[in-house]
Amino acid sequence: MVWPALEKLLFDAVATESPSLKQLLAHVLSGGKGLRPTLVRICAQFGPYDPAEVNRVAAAIELVHLASLIHDDILDGATVRRHRPALHSLYGPIPAVLTGDYLFATAFGLLAQSPRAVLNIVTATIRTMCEGEIEQRSVPALTEQAYLSHIGKKTASLISAACRCGGVLCHLKRSGQEGLARFGWYLGLAYQMVDDLLDLLGQSEELGKPCRQDLSQGIITLPILRFLELIPQSDWWREKISRGLTPEEMEEIIVTARSLDCCQYARERAREQINFAFSALESLPACPAREELAWLASQVLAKIEELDYSGPAQEGAEQKEVAGSEATV
């Protein structure tokens, strides 16, 4: 989904004389679905815009996203990303932390030429993302509200910011910018909920990264939260999750969670968010850009429906649909 002008801009923006850094950047910039820059581009089409400016902001937001992925992968100890080795697992954590910092600085260099409102939105968003990551790792979610707050800060905030920046760049009035930001927020929540479900239910070959990373790190996502709400020994399990699960315990949780329809419950909540996103669109003028946003939301909805909630028993039957779903949006 990354268009040629954006790709060129990304490569030009990060250009460096340092041979070591060049190698690191080449690894980082390849691949990627480009959801966030696409949202900037579509949301800028609600009014007149300067394409060069839109590309700059789209590139900056993608760089912020890539920087945060690099740092998160180090923190998660994740070794694979997008079917390829994570940067830090190839080159070590030192160049990876620094490459992330370099991308942040490059993003702000691009934004130096943009309206101050855009710069303010992006800096506030990065702060929010960091807060969310720190909270999620220091205080595991005890309630659905806490879970929504974590994924809101960690994921929905940047997707929402991408939409709002698009609105700023096409000089949409404040209420329109708010509508776009709301759309992005709910889309982002649903997007992360699907990601969390995939982490729990998917197979690593399909995801392009190992599955069940959240649970093994003690991060409690919605289906597990539901499981903890429904079972009688929830404190005992909570303790076990925070101390680190054995593979057998992890399997037991997943089998029980499936039998209690915890994943279907999470699906319902994700559908709700998509419906909120559709509602947010209604406040915006009908136009091709609005149609495009609705289509994007429907793609996330399709991913929600495609997941294999029924478990390994029916695995053969639905497996094919799940495969490749990660690549859709």
Residues 6 or more apart whose CB falls under 8 angstroms from that of 182 comprise 160, 276, 277, 280, 283
Stretch that binds its own copies, among 115-123, 158-166, 174-182, 255-263 (CB under 8 A): 115-123
**Between residues 137 and 271, which has the closer beta carbon with respect to its own copies?**
137
Q: Give CA–CA dist 153/140, Å, rounded.
A: 14
**Between residues 103 and 222, which has the closer beta carbon with respect to its own copies?**
103
Q: How far is the CB of 64 from its own copies (least distance, A)?
A: 9
Please give the residues from 61 up to 100 whose contact with its own copies meets the rule CB under 8 A: 67-68, 71, 74-75, 93-95, 97-100
**Between residues 98 and 323, which has the closer beta carbon with respect to its own copies?**
98
- Please name which of 281, 109, 76, 328 lies closest in space to residue 181, comparing C-alpha atoms: 281
Residue given tokens 């939105």 in the structure block: 121
Residues 6 or more apart whose CB falls under 8 angstroms from that of 221 comprise 141, 147, 196, 197, 199, 200, 214, 215, 266
Q: How far is the CB of 50 from its own copies (least distance, A)?
A: 17
CA 66 to chain centre: 11
**Between residues 24 and 301, which has the closer beta carbon with respect to its own copies?**
24
Please give the residues from 231 up to 250 whose contact with its own copies meets the rule CB under 8 A: none
Q: How far is the CB of 15 from its own copies (least distance, A)?
A: 10
**Between residues 20 and 279, which has the closer beta carbon with respect to its own copies?**
20
1, 5, 7, 108: which one contacts its own copies (CB under 8 A)? 108
Does 126 engage in binding with its own copies (CB under 8 A)? Answer: yes
- Please name which of 315, 299, 265, 264 lies closest in space to residue 42, comparing C-alpha atoms: 299
Bridge partner residues of 237 (DSSP): none
CA 47 to chain centre: 27
**Between residues 16 and 234, which has the closer beta carbon with respect to its own copies?**
16
Q: How far is the CB of 172 from its own copies (least distance, A)?
A: 20
- Please name which of 215, 329, 311, 328 lies closest in space to residue 263, comparing C-alpha atoms: 311
Does 131 engage in binding with its own copies (CB under 8 A)? Answer: yes
Does 41 engage in binding with its own copies (CB under 8 A)? Answer: no
SS3 81: strand
137, 171, 240, 271: which one contacts its own copies (CB under 8 A)? 137
SS3 187: helix
Stretch that binds its own copies, among 36-44, 132-140, 180-188, 283-291 (CB under 8 A): 132-140
Dump strand ranges (E) for the chain. Answer: 80-81, 84-85
CA angle 96, 97, 98 (to 5 degrees): 90
11, 26, 50, 101: which one contacts its own copies (CB under 8 A)? 101
User: What is the contact surface with its own copies in residues (CB under 8 A)?
Assistant: 16-18, 20-21, 24, 67-68, 71, 74-75, 93-95, 97-102, 104-106, 108-109, 111-113, 116, 119-120, 122-124, 126-127, 130-131, 133-135, 137-139
